Chains A and B, each alone.
Chain A
Amino acid sequence: MPNLKDLKNRIASVKSTRKITKAMQMVAAAKLRRAQDAAEASRPYTERFNAVMAGLAAGSAGSEAAPKLLSGTGSDQVHLLIVMTAERGLCGGFNGNIAKLAKSHAQKLLSDGKTVKILTVGKKGRDAIKRDLGDHFVGHVDLSAVKRLGYADAQGIAKDVLGRFDATEFDIATIFFARFENVVTQHPTAQQIIPAKFETAEDAEVTLYDYEPSEEEILADLLPRGVATAIFSALLENAASEQGARMSAMDNATRNAGEMIDKLTIQYNRSRQAVITNELIEIISGAEAL
């Protein structure tokens, strides 16, 4: 049985842990609000953009002259996986889930005899898949210095990716990130960005547009921007998911610490009582012996 002093120290240490997790939870909650606002602010742009692109893409799909970013290189041998995770840990299963999805995707491709290249965004995901797939790394984007995600950050990544595409380093690019649903649920998602896929709503009203300059030129101009847009919205979703995951993880940790403190306090009180009882027995039996 641990002695009283040990128990007391233990309770004090769990209490300070609880204080830290509580503070982290509150910080995450504040950051979550900001991340969610940012994600929401970008949504109108992304939605409109994709709607227009879907219309354009449907028009030129199948034509011989379709840009490579839309039609693909005609091969699916080399895959680029862009794995986006957080720069920090302590956010529950957030980083692990994305890494797991990317890993299983990569292993499936490898067993099909494809070549896999991995570009990591965020330190934690890199660490998580380094052991199994470290040989496939082709690059890393460090966003740890970025306080507030801007479109420029996404453009930087997109530029890197497009440069590799132009140098025919890969045929298909897929991004991995966590789609934010609510504070407790985030879905690890894989989304193919090159060649671009646009969802066309079946019942969408078809408007015939005049294009200025030509349809092909607009498409060629907008497709690279589409890559940046997709990456930007993934980054924002990811940021919101990270904070959400951290908030619920820290909430759990705070609750666990509370339970532990209760348990330890009961144990402490019992031991204290036992010590008192013991002393009393000693005094009484000593008095009786006289």
Chain B
Amino acid sequence: MANLQFDLVSPERRLASVEATEVQIPGADGDMTAMADHAPTITTLRPGILTVVHSGGSDAYVVSGGFAEITATGVSVLAEQALPQAEVTQEIYDQMVEDAKSAYGRAQETFKNEPGPVDDAAKLLSDMMAIGGTIGLHAKN
């Protein structure tokens, strides 16, 4: 089976650069799996788990913000925040949830009569909560 080149970079470091067989991306409009010869696509990311399947098994990363560029031969993900799942501790997760919560609060205050930004922030928060459920951490209330 044809492979594709997978790169995951955050502004601070390059997290991964491997030959992958498939990449599962948490796109803003829904999850998608990219395999070789995928149609060229650019999608923004929602906070979620990105999974890479390669010959040596699979790796999971927690990503938030940014976008993914998919071409026939490769996937590059540019995430504003990205961490290997194993590095996400309860503490870091709490911080992320806290950030989402405060963003939600701010949005509610600033845009009282505009549902758009408030809904976006609410979605961000629920996405964060969902991450916790997937990786076995719990948001404290």
Contact = CB atoms under 8 A, between A and B. Distances in A.
Interface in B1-53: 7, 9-14, 27-29, 32, 39-44
Contacts of A46: 11
Residue from B39, B67, B76 whose CB has the most chain A CB atoms within 10 Å: B67
A229 interface: yes
A49 interface: yes
Contact of B69 (A48, A151, A217): A48
Interface residues of B, number: 25
Contact of A52 (B14, B29, B32, B67): B67
A202 B76 CA distance: 22
A221 interface: yes
A222 B44 contact: yes
Interface in B50-90: 65-67, 69, 71, 76, 78, 80
Contacts of B44: 212-213, 217-218, 221-222
Contacts, number: 72
B31 to A, nearest CB: 11
* A interface, over-half SS: helix
Given A151-B80, A212-B41, A225-B80, A207 B71 contact: yes
A229 B12 CA distance: 10
A280 interface: no
Given A212-B41, A225-B65, A48 B78 contact: yes
Contact of A212 (B43, B66, B76): B43
Interface size class for chain A? Answer: 20 to 34
B43 A150 contact: no
A38 B67 CA distance: 22
Interface string A148-190: 0011001000000000000000000000000000000000000
A225 B66 contact: yes
A221 B43 CA distance: 11
Nearest to A218: B44
B100 to A, nearest CB: 15
Contacts of B40: 207-210
A52 B8 CA distance: 15
Contacts of B80: 151, 225
Interface in A30-57: 38, 41-42, 44-46, 48-49, 52, 56
9 contacts: A42-B11, A49-B78, A151-B12, A208-B40, A210-B40, A211-B42, A213-B28, A225-B65, A225-B80
Given A211-B41, A232-B11, 5 more contacts: A38-B12, A44-B7, A154-B11, A208-B40, A212-B44
Interface of B: 7, 9-14, 27-29, 32, 39-44, 65-67, 69, 71, 76, 78, 80
